[in-house]
Amino acid sequence: MLGSLDSAVSALDQFQQQLNVTANNIANVDTVGFKSASVNFADTFSQVVGNTVSAGTMQVGTGVLTSSITNQFTQGALSSTGSPDDLAINGNGFFTVKDPSTGATYATQDGSFKVDGNGYLVTANGMQVQGYSDAGLTTLGPIKIDNTGAPGGDTSAVSSYTFAANGDVNVELADGTTFTRGQILLQNYSSPQNLLSVGNNLYSNTANAGALTTAVTPGSNGLGSISSGQLEMSNVDLAGQLASLIVTQRGYEANAKVVTTSDQILQDTNNLKQS
């Protein structure tokens, strides 16, 4: 079989892969906390077709393969929502959330949270946001907004609450008493490319991504601060993705032409044998 046919077919496969990634990026241009991905190609093994003193080793490549698909963890733009439960990380870092039914933990940069019927700060899918869960800021666990830990054992109902830039959860009770109920903590990773997207803007495989040994206070150790009433939007560059879409289409068309040309040559060769 012609080597050109093998090379062109491998290119068609990889351009299809790139098209899939680009399409997913464009589809998530308005997804909160979404991180765009890019495809990196590499050439495949080259065949040695000759070896001469004057020209040296002569090689012909056999096509292309996808060497990696990497997420771009640059920060997306912050958008104001007016909802105090919406939280954005202004800088580096991830929220840690836990599935209360399985105990599995995930990383996310989607801060579109809400307070559920039991007072826990949760994601849209019920994952509980993690941090210091007590007023003394000593115990790690789910963030809960209630009057537990109020000064003097005050049992007044919660009137309002706010989130500070350092993650403090500040609660005001009906009688005017205010106290810090807990603190949202952030996590960062030395190898975020090892995080695995599992849908719903969540990432697993946090251990292999090189998580910090402990969660960290927002605004410290190189981590960003928390902005209440804002969300980090997708970091997809739509103009760049549309340009990539055009390049991918042209590359696919060119290699499809190589396939048809190689097929024509094989047909002509076959006709020579029959004549």
Whether 214 and 268 map to the same domain: the answer is no
Q: What is the pTM of this model?
A: 0.87
Whether 226 and 258 map to the same domain: the answer is no
Whether 30 and 125 map to the same domain: the answer is no
Whether 176 and 117 map to the same domain: the answer is yes
pLDDT digit string (tens) for the chain, length 275 residues: 567 888 999 999 999 999 999 999 999 999 999 999 999 999 887 777 777 666 677 788 788 999 999 999 999 999 999 999 999 999 999 999 999 999 999 999 999 999 999 999 999 999 999 999 999 999 999 999 999 999 999 999 999 999 999 999 999 999 999 999 999 999 999 999 999 999 999 999 998 999 887 889 999 999 999 999 999 999 999 999 999 999 999 999 999 999 999 888 888 777 876 65
Cβ of 101: how many Cβ atoms within 10 Å? Answer: 8
Whether 82 and 159 map to the same domain: the answer is yes
pLDDT at 53: 64
pLDDT at 167: 98
Whether 60 and 148 map to the same domain: the answer is no
Whether 9 and 57 map to the same domain: the answer is yes
pLDDT at 46: 73
Whether 95 and 143 map to the same domain: the answer is yes
Whether 53 and 150 map to the same domain: the answer is no
pLDDT at 55: 64
pLDDT at 237: 97
pLDDT at 275: 58
Whether 211 and 256 map to the same domain: the answer is no
Whether 246 and 223 map to the same domain: the answer is no
**Number of domains comprising the chain:** 2
Whether 34 and 90 map to the same domain: the answer is no
Instruction: Show the domain range for 101.
Output: 78-232
Place of tokens 């290699």: 255
